Chains A and B, each alone.
Chain A
Amino acid sequence: MRVRLSAESVHNELVQRIEEYSGQGLMACYQCGKCAAGCPVAFAMDMLPSQVIRYAQLGLVEPLLESKTIWLCAACQTCYTRCPKGIDLSRIMEALREIVMLEKGSHINYDALTSEEQADWPQQAFIGGFRKYSV
């Protein structure tokens, strides 16, 4: 089945939310794959970390929300420390987890937080681990 790309599909609402929650520009990634090459848990993932960004660049967020990868990410930030474009992929993973949580409606409503509160948002590794083991 061919995936149809269009201005709407590429910049859909989920993509915009990923960029907003993570604060990362998805289009900055040029798909070198260094994140996937160095990720200590990539062996167990069903989708490589670099592919997570690629799917998001193409506007294809649903497969990401269903992937194991976003839950296997330990937010260790190996990818971020090595990324030549300075993209914090663990924040993108976190944003994707966030979206899943929000869809289930069982956790803090990120959108309801004020911008000051968002700025004080705790260390994502901490909150990521907290989320992961409490689902």
Chain B
Amino acid sequence: MKRIGIFVCHCGNNIAGTLDIDRVVEAIREFPEVVYAIDYKYMCSDPGQQLIREHILEDQLDAVIVAACSPSMHETTFRRTAEAAGINPYQTEIANIREQASWVHQKQQEAATNKAIETIRTIVAKAHYNQSLMPFYLPLVKRSLVIGGGIAGMQAALDIADAGYPVVLVEKADRLGGRMAELSGLYLDSDAAADPLGQKIKAVTHHPNIQVITQAAITEVGGYVGNFTVQIEQRTASPADQDPAGELVPYSFDIGAIVVATGYDLYDKKNLGEYGGGRYPDVIDGLQLEEMLRPDGPTGGRIVRPSDGKVPKEMVWVQCAGSRDPELHKPYCSKVCCMYVAKQSMAYKQQVPDGQATVFYIDIRSQGKDYEEYVQRAMEEHDVLYIRGKASKVFQENGHVTVWGVDTLTGLPLEVEADLVVLATAIVPRADAQELGQRLRVGTDEHGFLSEAHPKLRPVESLTAGVFLAGAAHFPKDIPETVAQASGAASKVLSLFSQRQMVQEPTIAFVDPELCSGCGLCIPACPYDARSMHEWQHIAVVNTALCQGCGACAMVCPNKACRVRNLTQGQILSMMEAYL
């Protein structure tokens, strides 16, 4: 016999405004094993929780049911409350009479009250069979893997390594630096990108806690948060060698947490037929101009026409080339273009003061500290002519690349016979990001960017525990935002590593070895890869860390050997019986 206490919450008027609380309390007092039932205005408030604790002691309760909101709101709250009064947390249950009764049946008060009573009746039936459980403690490997050696990956690696944990930093190319190494300067202060980046690279390569593996790829990821096993392959040949594949050196690491920072690509100019589709040498993209502007670049920092090496007298930038175009290309704003175009156009005007810089834009997005002032400086102090209107066509004619656009502010159709056109093409994820995402069990959105766990509140976590996101692999972002996200991801890794062990909820599946026939049906049924056959016993086993307690295995098991703790077939049937 259990001694169950039921606490019915009014949730202000959320529940009490619809349900007849007195009738609910009166009815549930008659349920088997219920020794106490009471209602209160806000059960989650301090006095509400105090009420629960008092009656656990006073009425010697050994199980608590709180009839209130969804368990996703306050199950943890009430389990802790009851635990403080000496009850095992898994003997506390929530009966959801708000989302499932009062909110959805506001106009049928009597029926809603009946439904609440019956909901509580089923939970009482379940509580009868609930066992006291202890959470599982799993080992935690305090070594982190960072994928991508750009500014995002390096920042995350440094933050984790500075805190004293080992980091394996894997980079696809033969050098660190990523896209930032391809930039000529950084906007706002026009610093050469090489200086701050060089310092970071030095800090990473000399850090005793960071192992850098360049020319490498992740070939396999197994395991789960705290206990990943990662296979890496490194090419030994340099890209200049005859045989680009070279020899492959395999690495294997036990890893506790992973930061993905694989960066971005530019949308291929070939996709933009109206802008020449990549056929004209004097129509280039933003990174091509960055290469020219780099002091160590092929032109020594000078802007010249690729076709004939002449200094361009007329230069045009086309913003949103492939961005903000839901019909034909990418619907999103690529976020960095407005700023780098301002930077590039000012750099051009400094090199060619009597040249004409024209920018076709549809909106200027300069949201950042000092960003707006920077763009206004391009217009005001450097005479960069901003034309509000998306360029419609770029074509080659008489040794020029002519741009057709319209100034929507006056309604005048315009034409510029340019010497050099820069397309600020859309930012897209790396071509192999999706494949890597699958390997890591991290979702990608329709464009191939890695998905965050929550767009507002969990922007650096993926939905896979222990895998975190940094930089443009997640979405287009500039360097300061990337660095901030990378440090955020690193701090998530560190808070994980600050635990002594991994804690796993005990309400997961288990296999009764006496009943299991080893048919193996549960293995493909498990959506979390948490099932396998025992090496020699020929019975199914549950991987405690991966199991989420969904119960799919219990559904398919023909012998009822597989059960979910505190949600067994017996419990479900008795709940059904109570309800019907």
Contact = CB atoms under 8 A, between A and B. Distances in A.
Contacts of A1: 413
B356 A58 contact: no
Contacts of B305: none
Contacts of A7: 313-314, 354-356
Size bracket, chain B contacts: 20 to 34
A5 B414 contact: yes
B354 A3 contact: no
Interface stretch (B229-237, B378-386, B433-441): B378-386
B410 A5 contact: no
B416 A4 contact: yes
Given A2-B415, A10-B385, A27 B379 contact: yes
B416 A6 contact: yes
A6 B388 contact: no
A2 B355 CA distance: 21
A28 interface: yes
A2 B414 contact: yes
A54 interface: yes
Interface string B313-330: 110000000000000000
B313 A58 contact: no
Contact of B380 (A6, A11, A25): A25
Interface in A1-39: 1-7, 10-11, 25, 27-28, 30-31
A51 B354 CA distance: 25
Given A31-B409, A51-B410, A5 B358 contact: yes
B404 interface: yes
Given A2-B413, A3-B413, A28 B354 contact: no
A10 B356 contact: yes
A27 B377 CA distance: 10
Interface SS majority for chain A:
mixed
Most B-side CB within 10 Å, residue of A7, A11, A30, A31: A7
Contacts of B358: 5
B356 A6 contact: yes
Contacts of B407: 54, 58
Contacts of A5: 356, 358, 385, 414-416
Nearest to A51: B410
Interface in A73-109: none
Interface in A21-66: 25, 27-28, 30-31, 50-51, 54-55, 57-58, 60
Contact of A27 (B355, B383, B388): B383
Nearest to B352: A7
7 contacts: A2-B404, A4-B414, A4-B417, A5-B385, A6-B416, A7-B313, A60-B412
Interface of A: 1-7, 10-11, 25, 27-28, 30-31, 50-51, 54-55, 57-58, 60
- Which 4 pairs show the lowest CB-CB distances between chains A and B? A7-B356, A2-B415, A28-B380, A2-B413
Interface of B: 313-314, 354-356, 358, 376, 379-380, 383-386, 388, 404, 407, 409-410, 412-417
